Amino acid sequence: MYIATTSIDVRYAETDQMGVVYHANYLIWFELGRTSLINDLGFRYADMEKEGILSPVVDIKASYKRPVRYGDEVSIRTWVEHYDGLRVNYGYEVINGEGEICVTGESMHTCVKRDTFRPVSIRRKFPEWHKAYEQAKKQTVSTGAE
């Protein structure tokens, strides 16, 4: 599968009173990774939105393995975990500088019309995205620092 890698330098504002990254910030990092993956595949969320289509999160999970602290540099690895033409699940790993997995996660998205929130088939509405997601599941190459 194709894996996009996004580097993040942990900022002080992202940490909590315990000195570790506040748990909700990982969801923001997941979004950065997801956007990077989509860009790597040759697409942009903004172009989808110009056509009146949104891609809301319908489910999200995060599992915390190791703390990440201010000053750390981490990599967000993102890939298409599952895709069925209507919904897409992205997988995530947050890896620290020592190569340790600190957080794993998954988010499920579907496309909907902006005005009605009725589901839209990615396969039909965006056939090029559909093809790219299918290929991304099969690819064995990855990008970025690993």
What is the signed CA dihedral for 99, 31, 70, 19, rounded to 10 degrees?
A: -110
The yes-or-no answer on residue 16 being catalytic is yes
**Residue of 39, 9, 47, 73 whose CA lies nearest to 143:** 39
83, HSE (Cβ side, Cα atoms, 13 Å): 21
Rg of the chain's alpha carbons, rounded to an integer? 16
- Tell me which amino acid residue 90 is: Y
Query: Which one of 16, 47, 59, 84 is the catalytic residue?
Result: 16
**Active site residues per annotation:** 16
